[in-house]
Amino acid sequence: MKPKKNYIRKSFYLTLITLLLLSLLFFLPRITIFDKTMRRVDVLSDILEKDSAGNVLAELMIDSLQGFVDSMAIAGPAPEVVKLDYKDSIPEGMIAIEDFADSTGVHREMDRFYKALDESGSRLVRIAVFGDSYIEGDILTSALRHLLQSEYGGRGVGFVEVSCVSEGFRNTVRNSNSGWEKHHSTDKRGFNSANQSMASSYFIPGPNATFTLTCQNQNYPETLTYADVVSVWYNNTNPLTLSLSLNGGQPQSINTHDNLGIQCFTLPGDSITKASLQASGSGIVYGMTLDGRHGICVDNYSLRGSPGMNLETIPGDFLTAIAKYRPYDLIIYEFGLNVASEKRKDYSNYTERFSKVIQKMKSYLPECSFLVFGASDRSKRGADGRYHTMRGVESLISYQRKMASDNGVAFWNLRDALGGDGAIAELQKQGMAAKDFTHLNFKGGEHIAKLFFDVLQNGKMNYDRRHE
């Protein structure tokens, strides 16, 4: 017969360990929940010395010590006060931006941009819009730029590449150029993606190349008649000679002899209506920017027929230069219709590739807000005689929304904002879209710009209320 096991020793050690743990809990800081401060765990409270009010003296000493330690801590910035229980106010019928807040509910993707708007009186708040022919020639972006600059200040059209297919009908700036070797990502041969800019292009000057931007006063004259600052973007890894003249004045030589790679030369002026660049050499010129000294600037980066994959090959060196010289506060992606088709339902391959674009730009511009526009409408006549959105577009929009959520960026359902199923057909009736039931004209661009501007203003109002 086996002898009975003796558990007295094990019980003693278990009790000793429990008492030790409970004693250590006494030294933890008090915890406050819903404005109620919890009492400390104190297994010896009945035998410890107390004051006249019944408070344990040892506990009071620990509290005093904790206060001393807190007072010795290095002061940091005051924590941001955010009303976590605030519910956004959205007017009836408005399709708001989906921010995809993080798990804390504090961070929202658009908040960095809304905060930047508060600083527009003292600095440039920069916006880049990447898209296809939907924004070509400054359609949509011209009206959006004007609305934002009228509200928050600023002037000028922003970035203009040396040459593009829309320069002949873009009505927000006049562009004349000659003597350039031109390279665009849509070229069938001769394009080197390692040299491209944010506009997916680059230009090599001949012996006497010229590039002139002239402000105009027919469209949005309040903000586009003149600029305050001109910048030239170039790469002098190879020999390059540049000079810039403002308003027909004396050309000023730009130092290009230090072989520093991608550079941005900035020259302020007094009511700049014309900027002329003379160039020669084998280096690269990308374009010029026309801006105000503060307020809003909106850069239009359109590429006809593009699904946006060209952005994946923008070299890191150029993104580094953007982060240094022209850090954006908001980047908008308007793509999608060029990959949509009637029968296609699965767009996972497209959104997986485009996710790489988003993540790449986020890594270089961590303080920027990113916003994906869902694809607009492409309609065709159905069996009922009415125009309906092509089925593949609806599926694409769902994939784009999930892509935005997966990448922690914001999303705006453009098609729903326009009216939903077959919306482009109604715009065409009102003279705002082409008869292909796909593309906008400038009047349609103004319509969308106003819708989006109101959405931004509503988002800014809710941001202010959450942080007041």
Domains and their CATH numbers in the chain: 109-154+295-468 (3.40.50.1110), 156-293 (2.60.120.1360)
Residue 386 has pLDDT above 80, yes or no: yes
- Please state, as a whole number, how many other Cβ atoms lie within 10 Å of the Cβ of residue 360: 16
Q: DSSP for 324-367?
A: HH---SEEEEE--TTT--SS----HHHHHHHHHHHHHHHHH-TT
Residue 465 has pLDDT above 60, yes or no: yes
Counting every residue written for the chain, the total comes to 468
Position 58, amino acid: A
Band of pLDDT at residue 105, cut at 50, 70 and 90:
low
Band of pLDDT at residue 224, cut at 50, 70 and 90:
very high
SS3 label, residue 79: coil
| DSSP structure class, residue 257 | -
CA–CA separation, 386 and 425 (whole Å): 9
Residue 56 has pLDDT above 60, yes or no: no
Position 239, amino acid: P
Picking from 52-56, 258-262, 316-320, 404-408, which range would have the lowest pLDDT averaged per residue? 52-56
Residue 355 has pLDDT above 50, yes or no: yes
Pick the closest to residue 129 from 159, 155, 108, 103 (CA basis). 159
Q: Indicate the pTM of the whole model.
A: 0.81
Band of pLDDT at residue 74, cut at 50, 70 and 90:
very low
Mean predicted confidence (pLDDT) in 441-465? 95
- Please state, as a whole number, how many other Cβ atoms lie within 10 Å of the Cβ of residue 175: 19
Position 55, amino acid: N
Position 235, amino acid: N
CA–CA separation, 65 and 60 (whole Å): 9
CA 374, distance to chain mean position in Å, is: 15
pLDDT tens sequence across 198-217 = 999 999 999 999 999 999 99
pLDDT tens sequence across 9-26 = 777 777 777 777 766 665
Pairing relation of β-strands 330-334 and 387-389? unpaired
Q: How far apart are the first and last CA of the chain?
A: 79
CA–CA separation, 1 and 266 (whole Å): 98
Residue 39: per-residue pLDDT: 57
Band of pLDDT at residue 255, cut at 50, 70 and 90:
confident
φ, ψ of residue 313 in degrees (nearest 5): -100, 5
pLDDT tens sequence across 124-177 = 999 999 999 889 999 999 999 999 999 999 999 999 999 998 998 999 999 999
Encoding tokens for residue 437? Answer: 């039931």
* Sign of the four-CA dihedral 457, 453, 109, 300: negative
Mean residue pLDDT of the chain comes to: 86
Band of pLDDT at residue 69, cut at 50, 70 and 90:
very low
Pick the closest to residue 114 from 155, 82, 79, 146 (CA basis). 82
